Chains A and B, each alone.
Chain A
Amino acid sequence: MKEISLSVKEGEHISIMGPSGSGKTTFLNILGCLDKPTSGKYFLDNIEVSSLTDDELSEIRNKKVGFVFQTYNLIPQLTVLENIGLPLFYSGFDEATVREKSLQLAEIVGLKDRINHRPSELSGGQQQRVAIARALANDPVIILADEPTGNLDSKTGEEIMELLVSLNKKGRTLIVVTHDTKIASYGKRIIQMLDGRIINED
């Protein structure tokens, strides 16, 4: 990635597009504090991230970032409720609080009747809902979605996008990486990437 300069305001909904290998996932990883830029600076919620230690980065991922992945990335041996509560567990909440908050989140994504199921017992759309609930757990400032509808049929994909958009309307910053123009069109700002550069922004 080269010469990227981008500022995102709170509450924005941005779509990042580009062919595979264009660096969009790497960009998203940096935004999500999973990766550090080799040079340059990144401010998240007024914190300069590139100088932080591994533990501090973990804490930021825990508190300020919510990830939604193409492959859902749920832990198969945990139940729906436990998967949703995972970030809360790492924040150090006690068991009762974790359970209570997880239940609320399950309700928001419409999975209250599935809390004791394992991910393998759910459909793709339901699994992605669990992942979204998990992303919301610690009330993050930013939600990063990497091809959130990539493994879903178009109808379910739309439902998931509507869920994400509704969250954005409630004031959460949302950044979606996709190569699907239909999905990208949900965003208010679309950024085109190629070979690690931003080539178009509107």
Chain B
Amino acid sequence: MRIDIFHLLRILKFGWKNLWLHKLRSFLTILGIVFGVASVISMLAIGEGASYEAREKIKELGSHNIIIRSVKPPSEGKSQQTTVILGVYGLVHKDLLKIKAIPSVEKVIPTWEMREEIWHIGRRVMGRIVGTYPDYKEVRNLEIEDGRFFNEVDMRLSRSVVVIGSSIKKSLFPFENPIGKTIRIRSNYFRVIGVVKEKVFSSSKIGFEAEDINFDVYMPFTTERVFFGKYETLSTRGPVFRRERNLVEYHRFIVRVKDMEKILTTSTVIEKILRVSHKKDDYEILVPLQLLRQTEHTKRIFNIVLGSIAAISLLVGGIGIMNIMLATVTERTREIGIRRAVGAKRKDIVSQFLSESVILSALGGIVGVILGIIIPKLVTKFSGMTTLITFWSVIIAFSISVAVGITFGIYPARKASLLDPIQALRYE
């Protein structure tokens, strides 16, 4: 066969013309490929988006860290009658000392947290108050947008200063610079000395960290103790209104480990230490690094599952093309005979029919790519899920669709070319 552009273009033009004669049929045929390609791209985009979110979240937690959190054990009391419960749970100062004594531990940053309304003149926003140490900024990779984080001196003097998250700033100080202004929590006033740069908040719950840290207000641990103490108050609305007051010394330890390789062993040691002193299950250990590995593992499984689903739909699409092409060959037997009589070689017939199936699949591929780019955008818009369309997923999906066209087009095309010209000419 003469491989020149003109010849190829004529073949493609003729193929296109034939497909255009049967618009509806061609359209229905490519639907299989369209959905196959669109599902490959959008599923990969959703999967990629989810793992991107997870990676960001884990990065935010810090891959060098182990996080231990106090967990309220299920209450054993006869809750029906009791309206006020006084309990004690969670991490205590002894735990802090023991963990600090582990050789591989670089430092331990404790926090005490509570959800509370934060006021500025007439404005109000719900946020999380975090009493902690100056090193918190470093272990959580917080970046300061404006002002400064509190320091050792603020700690020692228990100064009434706070550093606010970007969402708090937006809610309370939409039009002004918050630095130097005061905010009110309960009946206490605090001066804003810094603003933390906005962090991407992902809705997916990784481990137990589902807090939007942009709504955090940080203050020196000592200041927190002075104004709010160790008691947390929980109110539950339900059939019975309940109010709980619990003594919690620390809500969270952020343990920074010297060597990344020792993270897992250190977490095992911590687990053993805590198990000895805690009778109840009132703590939780989170290892971001381990989560990262789990996420990668999940992602791999996810991709395999999605890949197989997509492969099946492309296979179905390919079979659809083959089916239609076989019908077309039968329908146009006479035409094949005529072409052979005027001098078409077998290769010419093959390329004619193959071009039609390739046009079908490529067209399906293009429409599929467009759809595959739109769908993740809609998913993001309506569900808030992060999606990430990778360049490669588009390229791969499209190439597979063309490959499907070739694979499933070869058999009908070959069948057409092997027809006996005389019989084909006689075909009614």
Contact surface of A with B, Cβ cutoff 8 Å:
29, 32, 34-35, 54-55, 58-59, 61-63, 67, 69, 73-77, 86-87, 89-92, 94-95, 134, 137-138
User: Which chain B residue lies CB-closest to A89?
Assistant: B10
Residues of B with C-beta under 8 A to A32? 341
Cβ of B102 under 8 Å from chain A:
no
CA distance A141 to B6 in the complex (A): 28
Interchain residue pairs with CB less than 8 A apart (30) = A32-B341, A34-B341, A34-B422, A34-B425, A35-B422, A55-B346, A55-B347, A58-B343, A58-B345, A59-B343, A59-B345, A61-B340, A61-B343, A62-B344, A69-B425, A73-B334, A73-B337, A73-B338, A75-B338, A86-B338, A87-B342, A90-B339, A90-B342, A90-B343, A90-B345, A91-B343, A92-B2, A92-B4, A137-B342, A138-B343
Interface size range on B against A = 20 to 34
Known A-B contacts A77-B17, A92-B7, A94-B6; A29 and B342 likewise in contact (beta carbons under 8 Å) = no
> A73 with B425: in contact, given A92-B7, A95-B10 (CB under 8 Å)?
yes
B409 to chain A, nearest CB (A): 19
Q: Does B335 contact A (CB under 8 A)?
A: yes
Contacting pair B335 A75 (CB below 8 A): yes
- Taking a contact as CB atoms under 8 Å apart, the answer to whether A77 and B339 are in contact is no
B6 touching A95, Cβ below 8 Å: yes
Interface flags, B321-354, vs A, CB<8A=1, else 0: 0000000000000110111111111111000000
Interface on B for A, CB 8 Å cutoff?
2, 4, 6-7, 10, 17-18, 21, 334-335, 337-348, 421-422, 425
CB of B164 to closest CB in A, whole Å? 72
Closest chain B residue, CB of each to CB of A134: B342
**Interfacial chain B residues near A95, Cβ < 8 Å:** 6, 10
Chain B neighbourhood of A29, CB < 8 A: 422
- Which of A34, A86, A87 is B421 in contact with, Cβ under 8 Å? A34
**Which of A73, A74, A90 is B348 in contact with, Cβ under 8 Å?**
A90
Q: Is B344 in contact with A90, judged by CB distance below 8 angstroms?
A: yes
A81 shortest CB reach to chain B, Å: 13
Q: How far is the CB of B7 from chain A (nearest CB, A)?
A: 7
How far is A201 from B391 in the complex, measured between Cα atoms in Å? 76
Distance between B342 CB and nearest chain A CB, rounded to angstroms: 4
Question: Which residues does chain A contribute within 8 Å of B348, judged by CB atoms?
Answer: 90
Q: A77 vs B347: C-alpha distance in the bound complex, in angstroms?
A: 21
Q: Report the minimum CB–CB distance from B340 to chain A (whole Å).
A: 7
**Shortest beta-carbon contacts, A-B, top 6:** A62-B343, A90-B343, A58-B345, A87-B342, A92-B2, A61-B343
Question: Which residues does chain B contribute within 8 Å of A138, judged by CB atoms?
Answer: 343
How many angstroms from the CA of A41 to the CA of B4 in the assembled complex?
Answer: 36
Besides the known contacts A34-B421, A75-B339, 20 further A-B residue pairs in the complex with CB atoms under 8 A apart: A32-B341, A34-B340, A34-B422, A54-B345, A54-B346, A55-B346, A59-B343, A61-B343, A62-B342, A69-B425, A73-B338, A73-B341, A74-B338, A75-B335, A77-B18, A87-B343, A90-B343, A90-B344, A92-B2, A92-B4
Q: How far is the CA of A87 from the CA of B335 in the complex (A)?
A: 13
Contact B346 A86 (CB under 8 A): no
Q: Give the chain A neighbours of B2 by CB distance below 8 A.
A: 92
- Complex Cα distance A90/B2, Å? 9
Chain A neighbourhood of B344, CB < 8 A:
58, 62, 90
Q: Are A67 and B343 in contact (CB under 8 A)?
A: no
CA distance A58 to B7 in the complex (A): 17
A77 to B343, CA, bound (A): 19
Chain B residue, CB-CB nearest to A61: B343
CB-CB < 8 A to A134: which residues of B? 342
Task: Give bound CA distance, A151 to B323, whole Å.
Answer: 36
Which residues of the other chain, B, contact A59 by a CB distance below 8 angstroms? 343, 345
